[in-house]
Structure 1
């Protein structure tokens, strides 16, 4: 009988549970991605109420070169999630005092998850108040966010800072996610994190 599985099976890493907490919430209520601190956020199936990135769908851009620009696609980038320890590393690499979540359009600042930006796609965040959010992918750093950082940090060469940010923030820029179960989340809220089973697909 022919071997139905000629390739070696990948190593499978079991799923696990972690705990975290919300230390900051931010809303982009203006016509710009830069956010401002708030005490709570109301989330619907279309994302954060009143936020710059709200919507069931969005227009494609440079992150999706396989589509013509401004093609309407599903909005898997409803929320931007970051961690303070990773932003501190980015700031050190850029030679500035800090990178604030607001400057790069973050909506959630979380604490308690090691290597937040490396959580795999499909990870679920269950907030104590009932909201559930699903991670889609890492949030790739771009020059637009880099310019916002350089300007607000007072870097003498804003253009150089804008170019430096994508390199300094690679795999440290946090995550993008979408709302699986709507509701309200608040600063200080506890989160149960469910990391899915993982494997490397090498056919």
Structure 2
């Protein structure tokens, strides 16, 4: 197949990395049921095709914002950001970079902390997360850090200069902010539940 692809443009096709599987664990669950960004710890998450039932980010669709400059702000679009997943080791790196003791998942609106997956934030789009209870999430991509989350972090840590902290968070948390995902198969996820990550084939588009 690689040789056939090469003949299309008479050039070398980039290496294709095969799919693979990694095992992990749900270390913590959080939900935003108070009508705002911040999350609170939960023992379980009830997931429908709209996301977490009653959560701030639930919905089959959402309004576009600054992340989608190709649409007028407020355009209704598919909600691919139903859940936010982070890794404790990456949060620790962010905290170190900001010179603070810790970054709690709920301070930046995360719904799930995941352990056992190296470089969680670098999992590629289309990665599938299979939970032992039957739920499946599909990764949309990295959750780019924003000043909104940075401001919430600054407020929770009592930063002397909230504006400076929020801007620094955007810089420090790049590639470490975790992932956003949507529900492919609904059900219930529990704390300490085992999960399997299935990474699809990967390649760089040539040119």
1:156 aligns with 2:195: no
Name 1:84's counterpart in structure 2. 88
Name 2:54's counterpart in structure 1. 50
Over residues 99-151 of structure 1, what are the superposed CA-to-partner deviations in whole Å (9 max), with x where a residue is unaligned? 00001100010000000000000110000000000000100000000001011
What secondary structure does 1:173 align onto? Answer: coil
Structure 2: stretches of 5+ with no match in the other structure: 1-6
What secondary structure does 2:94 align onto? Answer: helix
How many residues are matched?
201
Q: Report matched runs for 1:1-203 at 5 Å.
A: 3-203=7-207
Structure 1 residue 4: deviation in Å? Answer: 2.8
Counterpart-to-counterpart distance in 1, 2:27 and 2:83: 15
Over residues 31-51 of structure 1, what are the superposed CA-to-partner deviations in whole Å (9 max), with x where a residue is unaligned? 211100000000000111010
Q: What TM-score, normalized to structure 2?
A: 0.96
Structure 1 residue 20: deviation in Å? Answer: 0.3
Q: What TM-score, normalized to structure 1?
A: 0.97
Over residues 49-71 of structure 1, what are the superposed CA-to-partner deviations in whole Å (9 max), with x where a residue is unaligned? 01000000000000000000000
Structure 1: stretches of 5+ with no match in the other structure: none
Counterpart-to-counterpart distance in 2, 1:63 and 1:129: 33
Counterpart-to-counterpart distance in 2, 1:10 and 1:179: 31
Q: What RMSD, in angstroms, separates the aligned Cα atoms of the two structures?
A: 0.8
Over residues 10-47 of structure 1, what are the superposed CA-to-partner deviations in whole Å (9 max), with x where a residue is unaligned? 11001110000001000000121110000000000011
Q: 4+ residue runs of structure 1 moved beyond 2 angstroms?
A: 3-7
Counterpart-to-counterpart distance in 2, 1:92 and 1:195: 29
